[in-house]
Structure 1
Amino acid sequence: MELPFSQACENNRKPILAVLREAFADCRAALEIGAGTGQHATAFAPAMPWLRWQPTEHRDALAFLEPRCRAFPAANLEAPLALDVCERPWPVPVPDGVFTANTLHIMPWAATEALFEALADAAAGTVVAVYGPFNYDGRYTSQSNAQFDQWLAARSPHSAIRDFEAVDKLAAGAGFVLDGDHAMPANNRLLRWRRG
């Protein structure tokens, strides 16, 4: 069986992992929200064996995630779970590491708000790492991001590249402080916050 595949995941997994190794160095478990094809989960779990890695996906897309996780098992890779950030309670408690890639610009803004509302229950020291495109000071960081945002708008009225400042405000409201802003391939960023 041919597994679901994302070329973007293949291209960005090494730069993301380089940051996550340091960001999650003191964490015991990581919750991946919107794990997609599972390429990040099956690469990151064995590369960070001190973590229990829990991939999740919206229930409608869980069947897209499960095959790769079965095909590339790791001792610390948990079976995928259905998770909708807008529903309470979540199926697992928020651990000390949370990762999500290419989700905030896809989900409605209300879901991004719900995500950080749920993270407000996290323990002190919890690290949240978010990968994707962001605008700064209300401006695109590249022409390709401007074109991508137009494509998102045509695809769904709920999708858009998010403003860094707006997301950082949500994080701050949940008790998190920005701990890193890393440049990534294809005009993306990896933002990380730590709960005080």
Structure 2
Amino acid sequence: MVNKPVAEACLRNQQPIAEILQQYLGDQRCLLEIGSGTGQHAVYCAERLPQLQWQPTELAGNIAGIDLWRRDAGLDNILPPLILDLDQPWPQVAADNIFTANTVHFVSQASVDNLFAQAGQRLPVKGLLMIYGPFNQGHQYTSEGNRGLDQWLKTSVNPQAGIKDIGDITTLAAVNNLTLIARHTMPANNLMLVFRR
């Protein structure tokens, strides 16, 4: 028996994330979410963007929890979650736009490279890649909280994980035919970066 997972961070940031998504995706039809975590963002945001078909994805171990959220919500616009590992071949799935929250700092730079490479290949012209999370600026932490988070990630999660620099991310995007068109300041020293193919 799988209990429905709850991430406290999602409860804190889901409203501001949904508000930004509504600004950009109000007339869109299909969104691929990378690293759906518990599935809370999918449910909260899909409920507020009913015209948007939301495709959650995650590592295999998290699929059951996401499906509990999806089934309990009873929303027609959330598709069954798919297994997706940034470092493995991606499933064939429509991706008019791509969104990911609190993923980039949890994975290695190689995984981030793969994310941008796939986004650059899969997104249609004018398709968006939207990334929420903490970023360094000028290779400096933007807060002591982010410094502590980075150290925790590297010691407790993955030595290759860590907060990425916005300049490096922008350069990586350009290599993959993606242009940074907006950066939104979000709660708790996070940003929402919006790239367009």
Q: With structure 2 as the length reference, what TM-score do the two structures score? A: 0.94
Question: Are the equivalent residues in 1 in contact too, given 2:30–2:94 (CA < 8 A)?
Answer: no
Question: Are the equivalent residues in 1 in contact too, given 2:3–2:65 (CA < 8 A)?
Answer: no
Question: Are the equivalent residues in 2 in contact too, given 1:178–1:192 (CA < 8 A)?
Answer: yes
Residue 136 of structure 1 deviates from its aligned partner by: 0.4
CA distance in 1, matches of 2:74, 2:172: 35
Within the candidate set 167, 176, 190, 1:188 is matched to: 190
- Check 1:73–1:170 CA distance in 2 against 1; reply closer, same or farther (3 A cut): farther
With 17-26 and 50-59 compared, the bigger mean Cα shift is at 17-26
Question: Are the equivalent residues in 2 in contact too, given 1:42–1:73 (CA < 8 A)?
Answer: no
**Is 2:107 aligned against 1:110?**
no
| SS in structure 2 of the partner of residue 105 of structure 1 | helix
How do 1:3-82 and structure 2 match up within 5 A? Answer: 3-82=4-83
Render the CA deviation track for 1:137-161: whole Å, top value 9, x for unaligned: 0111111111111111111201101
Residue 24 of structure 1 deviates from its aligned partner by: 1.3
Match of 1:167 in 2: 169
Identity of aligned residues (%): 39
CA distance in 2, matches of 1:77, 1:178: 28
Question: Are the equivalent residues in 2 in contact too, given 1:134–1:163 (CA < 8 A)?
Answer: yes
Residue 170 of structure 1 deviates from its aligned partner by: 1.5
Render the CA deviation track for 1:117-144: whole Å, top value 9, x for unaligned: 1112121010111000000001111111
Structure 1 residue identity aligned to 2:179:
V
Residue 94 of structure 1 deviates from its aligned partner by: 4.7
Structure 2 residue identity aligned to 1:171:
A
Question: Which runs of 4 or more aligned residues in structure 1 lie more than 4 Å from their structure 2 counterparts after TM superposition?
Answer: none
Residue 63 of structure 1 deviates from its aligned partner by: 2.4
- Where structure 1 has 5 or more consecutive residues not aligned to the other structure, the ranges are none
Structure 1 residue identity aligned to 2:106:
I
CA distance in 1, matches of 2:179, 2:126: 10
CA distance in 1, matches of 2:51, 2:181: 21
CA distance in 2, matches of 1:41, 1:30: 10
Match of 1:130 in 2: 131
Q: With structure 1 as the length reference, what TM-score do the two structures score? A: 0.94
Question: Are the equivalent residues in 1 in contact too, given 2:98–2:119 (CA < 8 A)?
Answer: no
- Check 1:124–1:170 CA distance in 2 against 1; reply closer, same or farther (3 A cut): same
Residue 2 of structure 1 deviates from its aligned partner by: 4.2
Render the CA deviation track for 1:14-70: whole Å, top value 9, x for unaligned: 101111001112321000000001100011112101110000001232223221112
With 132-141 and 145-154 compared, the bigger mean Cα shift is at 145-154
Aligned residues: 194
Within the candidate set 177, 181, 191, 2:179 is matched to: 177
Question: Cα RMSD over matched residues?
Answer: 1.3
- Where structure 2 has 5 or more consecutive residues not aligned to the other structure, the ranges are none
Question: Are the equivalent residues in 2 in contact too, given 1:24–1:127 (CA < 8 A)?
Answer: no
Residue 106 of structure 1 deviates from its aligned partner by: 0.6
